[in-house]
């Protein structure tokens, strides 16, 4: 987009297509009756986000491994309750969503929107790697609070949090993180470690909630400093019995919660496309899945035209 300042928009794709699936009725179907609610919802979100953010670069970040072995080795409970088959490592995904995910990937390829994953890593790690290497302002779109650890005013990294929906994004900069959680963004991973997150199988420290976690980090600055004081039997450490009981967990959980910034990413072109990379394939996908309205909205957004809300 001529005259537009450089900006990278990173999409937590799974977060968005799960939200689309649960937010758009499954009665929205292709001509053959197959549900395409997640596909159409995801594409409509892309159109809305591109129109609002006006990025010059765009990447749909992908979960090539939703439960990486290095995290499970440290903390076996990590996402364990979301494993569909105890004998394997497949994630529990609604049956009607499963076949829609490859369609989303095909449509992104036909549009020319970069889709990037990394073997052995989650989308969060891909996002973190791209954000720290960007060299331009970055907006991360996600419903995952763990990515608040990436917020960095000096580097121009913000999170556009989708907790209330894409139409009502919460812009999370350093001031917003501090106001919401009582800790700076740089300490958010330590905060999340102490608080825990049942949705990810992170037990946290029993009896330590958000206010207590924020108070401990406010006093000690970091989890590492807190643990050093705990091990040194510093009498100033509060919650000592609880922290000691969770000492084994606290030794490994930070490396589970912290996103990695060293993913081996494949070559990709993240420039925002202004026209489809494969028009014939896109037409075929539109016809097969009944996506005309959503694709037209995405194409209008990519061309810099207003889109319908």
Has residue 3 been placed in a domain? no
How many domains is the chain built from? 2
Res. 51: pLDDT tops 90: yes
> Residue 267 domain-assigned?
yes
Q: What is the CATH number of the domain that holds 14?
A: 3.40.50.1010
One domain for residues 195 and 288: no
Same domain, 177 and 278: yes
pLDDT at position 1:
46
CATH number of the domain to which 189 belongs: 1.10.150.20
Question: In this structure, are 17 and 86 located in the same domain?
Answer: yes
96 band by pLDDT with thresholds 50, 70 and 90:
very high
pLDDT (tens digit per residue) in 249-276: 999 999 999 999 999 999 999 999 999 9
Residues 155-183 have pLDDT tens digits of 999 999 999 999 999 999 999 999 999 99
Q: Same structural domain for residues 98 and 209?
A: no
Same domain, 245 and 164: no
Domain interval for residue 282: 8-183+260-302
Nearest to 73 by CA among 285, 252, 286: 252
Strands (E), the chain: 8-12, 57-61, 114-116, 138-142, 157-161, 170-172
Do 246 and 218 share a domain, yes or no? yes
pLDDT of residue 307: 57
The span from the CA of 139 to the CA of 5, in Å, is: 13
Q: Tell me, yes or no, whether 47 and 152 share the same domain.
A: yes
How many Å is the maximal CA-CA distance in the chain? 70
Predicted pLDDT of residue 86: 62
Q: What is the pLDDT of residue 238?
A: 94
* pLDDT 10s digits, 266-308: 999 999 999 999 999 999 999 999 999 999 999 999 999 765 5
With beta carbons less than 8 A apart as the criterion, state whether 119 and 63 touch: no
Q: Are 144 and 274 part of one and the same domain?
A: yes
Q: Which backbone phi and psi does 211 adopt, to 5 degrees?
A: -65, -45
């Amino acid at each position: 987009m001529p005259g537009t300042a450089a900006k990278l928009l990173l999409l937590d794709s799974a977060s968005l297509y799960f939200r689309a699936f649960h937010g758009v009725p499954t009665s929205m179907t292709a001509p053959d009756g197959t549900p395409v609610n997640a596909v159409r919802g995801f594409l409509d979100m892309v159109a809305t986000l591109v129109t609002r953010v006006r990025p010059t670069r765009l990447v749909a970040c992908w979960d090539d491994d939703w439960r990486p072995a290095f995290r499970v080795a440290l903390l076996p409970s990590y996402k364990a309750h979301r494993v569909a088959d105890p004998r394997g490592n497949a994630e529990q995904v609604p049956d009607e969503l499963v076949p829609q995910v490859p369609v989303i990937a095909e449509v992104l390829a036909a549009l020319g929107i970069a889709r990037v994953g990394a073997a052995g890593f989650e989308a969060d790690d891909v996002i973190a790697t791209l954000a720290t290497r960007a060299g331009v302002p970055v907006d991360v779109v996600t419903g995952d609070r763990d990515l608040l650890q990436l917020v960095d005013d000096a580097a121009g990294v913000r999170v556009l949090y989708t907790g209330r929906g894409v139409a009502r994004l919460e812009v999370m900069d350093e001031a917003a993180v501090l106001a919401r959680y009582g800790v700076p963004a740089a300490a958010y991973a330590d905060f999340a470690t102490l608080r825990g997150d049942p949705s990810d199988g992170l037990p946290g420290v029993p009896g330590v909630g958000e206010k207590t976690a924020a108070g401990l980090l406010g006093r000690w600055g970091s989890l590492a400093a807190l643990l050093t004081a705990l091990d040194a039997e510093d009498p100033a450490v509060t919650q000592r019995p609880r922290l000691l009981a969770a000492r084994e967990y606290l030794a490994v959980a930070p490396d589970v919660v912290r996103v990695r910034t060293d993913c081996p990413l494949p070559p990709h072109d993240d420039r925002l496309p202004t026209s489809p990379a494969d028009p014939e394939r896109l037409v075929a996908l539109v016809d097969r899945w009944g996506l005309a309205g959503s694709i037209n909205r995405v194409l209008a957004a990519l061309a810099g035209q207003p889109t319908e809300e």
